């Protein structure tokens, strides 16, 4: 890990509004962090904490209301900034009528790869994600986990310097989860930076060098994993206790007819 | 520049694959083709016009079904933005304008392919139409039935490709349909090829509607069905490039389209299409969230 900052957010705000401009959700409030080259940075928080919103703003898919965002020194809207990024969304949106090979070919061409480089990378990525045997089957017939693997492959097709993973282990079985974690650690060894978001404490703890904890759009804590260990556990315990009563069924209004 | 053009054609190619892979597109093309081909069998009112009624009905069918394709293409664009398939593409190093342009290019190519096929269907319908004064028959029934074999062959070709080569059924059938429709012309005689001038007229008109519908599709948040309905009503009522109706009207009353009319239509269509494409790119760039 070097000291070069490849990603920077500074005092970013985002509020979703309705058609009339009235605020509906304050998704991100005054979030700031940096990602250095070669590190794995974790965005941790419960569902609805603003992780995906933050990532979408970083990718130029969503416009921030306030604050500055920079990737490799460029605003996220520019094509130059996105040249060295790979992105795996929380829900893998792929064309169901394409096969994995065609999918990777499509996104590879959009990334500017030439034919010879592309074909060899496609085979390598299919092998890496364990999809060689289904390379010519339509993605629409895949399970969620298999689709996720195709999504991961397309995120790596352009050999990114920064990989952004939104809930990377979502939908994967334990073996797949282990493989993704190992991949993240292997990429770090190769000097590739990773920004991963997750609501699973174990995933983020295991893979990340530094973590930012988000809750309801607000930064609760930020720092190295070993420095935040106590904060991480107590944060999640307190969050769960605050949200629920002693019994989830009682909290839901006493479902006496259940069980 | 070269990279941008590669991206543009890549997006266009894959959007064509997506459209051709849709059963709805095959259904529209088959219905339009077969409906046009059997028109001569249903001409009980001749008005002493011989094949002209078949031609007029054929042109109306072409236009109506082409509108379905145009509106469907615009709806697909909207769907890509709402279901997230556009998001993964837009994270790659390409501009939103290139993505929008590529989608439009693909839809335009599909429209052209449809019109090429339907041109043959209209010619065939006119050729097999009533020649009561010369033959005493209301229609060349044998010719009509034989010509229906060609669209059916497109379905069989798609099925064979899927069964034996694991190819895509709808893609193969839809791609094969226009060439096979041109094959029907071997069964026809006394073809009046001059009416093919309607093809560029309809194409120029529809391209404007396509650009207009695609730009409009970026504005609406409601569901696909509502969006398609609104776009359809809007385009038909406003009729951008309404001057194109005049040559079609001339053709419907037995006239022909002068080359001069086409030369006037071309810049008008180019200007309006460019304007709507520019508006669409501008809207997409300003779009808050994709």
Domain ranges of chain A: 1-84+196-245
Of the two residues A204 and A103, the one the predictor is more confident about is A103
pLDDT at A39: 93
Query: A1-84+196-245 — its CATH code?
Result: 3.40.50.300
Mean pLDDT of B27-45: 80
The answer, for B21 touching chain A at a CB cutoff of 8 Å, is yes
Judging contacts by C-beta atoms under 8 Å, the chain A residues touching residue B84 are 89, 91, 93
Would the pLDDT of A22 be above 90? yes
Taking the C-alpha atoms of residue B271 and residue B265, their distance in angstroms, rounded to an integer, is: 10
Given an 8 Å threshold on Cβ–Cβ distance, is A93 in contact with B83? Answer: yes
Contact predicate A87/A164, CB 8 Å: yes
Report how far apart the first and last C-alpha atoms of chain B are (Å, whole number).
25
Nearest CA in chain B to A158: B92
Produce one character per residue of A58-71: b if its CB has 16 or more CB atoms within 10 Å, e if not: bbbbbebeebebbb
Given an 8 Å threshold on Cβ–Cβ distance, is B84 in contact with A59? Answer: no
Distances (CA, A) of B115 to B19, B64, B122, B243: 15, 12, 10, 20
pLDDT single digits (tens) B218-230: 876 545 566 566 6
Other beta carbons less than 10 A from residue B60's beta carbon = 14
The Cα of A136 is separated from the nearest Cα of chain B by a number of Å equal to 10
Would the pLDDT of A165 be above 70? yes
Contacts made by residues B133-141, CB under 8 angstroms, sequence distance 24+: B133/B48, B133/B50, B138/B40, B138/B41, B138/B43, B138/B44, B138/B46, B139/B40, B139/B41, B139/B43, B140/B40, B141/B41
Token pair recorded at residue A67: 């604050």
Would the pLDDT of B48 be above 50? no
Where are the domains positioned within chain B?
A: 2-286
Mean pLDDT of B35-52: 66
Given an 8 Å threshold on Cβ–Cβ distance, is B91 in contact with A111? Answer: no
Given an 8 Å threshold on Cβ–Cβ distance, is A97 in contact with B3? Answer: no
Token pair recorded at residue B60: 């109306």
pLDDT at A126: 94
Taking the C-alpha atoms of residue B207 and residue B216, their distance in angstroms, rounded to an integer, is: 14
Mean pLDDT of A170-178: 86
Cβ-proximal residues to B152 (8 Å cutoff; 6+ apart), any chain:
none
Taking the C-alpha atoms of residue B228 and residue B36, their distance in angstroms, rounded to an integer, is: 25
pLDDT at A245: 45
């Amino acid at each position: 890990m070097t000291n070069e900052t490849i990603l920077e957010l500074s005092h970013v705000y985002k509020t979703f509004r309705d058609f009339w401009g009235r605020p509906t959700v304050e998704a991100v409030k005054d979030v700031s962090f940096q990602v250095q080259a070669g590190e794995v940075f974790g965005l941790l928080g419960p569902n609805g904490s603003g992780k995906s919103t933050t990532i979408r703003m970083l990718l130029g898919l969503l416009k921030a209301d306030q604050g500055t965002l920079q990737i490799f020194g460029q605003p996220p809207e520019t094509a130059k900034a996105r040249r060295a990024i790979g992105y795996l969304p929380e829900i893998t949106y792929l064309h169901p009528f394409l096969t994995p090979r065609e999918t990777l070919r499509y996104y590879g061409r959009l990334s500017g790869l030439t034919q010879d480089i592309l074909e060899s990378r496609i085979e390598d990525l299919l092998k890496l994600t364990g999809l060689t045997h289904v390379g010519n089957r339509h993605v629409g017939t895949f399970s969620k986990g298999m689709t996720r693997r195709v999504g991961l492959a397309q995120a790596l097709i352009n050999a990114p310097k920064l990989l952004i993973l939104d809930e990377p282990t979502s939908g994967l079985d334990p073996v797949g989860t282990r493989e993704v974690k190992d991949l993240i650690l292997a990429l770090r060894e190769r000097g590739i930076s990773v920004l991963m978001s997750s609501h699973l404490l174990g995933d983020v703890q295991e893979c990340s060098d530094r973590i930012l904890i988000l809750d309801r759009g607000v930064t609760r804590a930020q720092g190295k994993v070993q420095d935040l260990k106590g904060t991480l556990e107590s944060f999640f315990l307190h969050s769960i206790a605050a949200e629920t009563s002693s019994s989830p069924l009682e909290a839901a209004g006493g479902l006496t007819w259940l069980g | 520049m070269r990279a941008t053009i590669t991206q543009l054609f890549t997006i266009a190619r894959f959007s064509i694959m997506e459209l051709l892979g849709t059963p709805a597109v095959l259904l529209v093309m088959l219905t339009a083709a077969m409906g046009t081909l059997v028109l001569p069998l249903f001409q009980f009112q001749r008005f002493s016009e011989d094949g002209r009624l078949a031609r007029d009905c054929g042109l109306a069918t072409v236009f109506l079904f082409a509108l379905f394709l145009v509106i469907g293409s615009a709806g697909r664009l909207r769907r890509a933005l709402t279901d997230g398939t556009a998001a993964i593409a837009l994270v790659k190093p390409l501009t939103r304008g290139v993505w929008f342009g590529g989608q439009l290019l693909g839809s335009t190519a599909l429209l052209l392919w449809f019109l090429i096929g339907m041109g043959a269907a209209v010619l065939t319908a006119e050729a097999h139409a009533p020649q009561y004064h010369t033959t005493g028959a209301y229609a060349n029934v044998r010719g009509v039935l034989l010509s229906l074999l060609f669209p059916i062959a497109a379905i069989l070709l798609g099925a064979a490709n899927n069964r034996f080569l694991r190819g895509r059924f709808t893609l193969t059938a839809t791609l094969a349909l226009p060439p096979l429709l041109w094959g029907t012309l071997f069964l026809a005689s006394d073809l009046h090829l001059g009416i093919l001038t309607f093809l560029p007229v309809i194409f120029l008109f529809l391209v404007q509607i396509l650009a207009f519908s695609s730009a409009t599709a970026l504005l609406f948040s409601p569901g696909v069905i509502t969006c398609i309905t609104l776009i359809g009503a809007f385009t038909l009522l406003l009729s951008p490039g309404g001057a194109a109706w005049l040559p079609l009207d001339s053709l419907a009353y037995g006239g022909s389209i002068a080359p001069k009319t086409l030369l006037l239509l071309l810049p008008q269509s180019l200007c309006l299409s460019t304007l709507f494409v520019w508006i669409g790119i501008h809207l997409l760039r300003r779009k808050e969230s994709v």
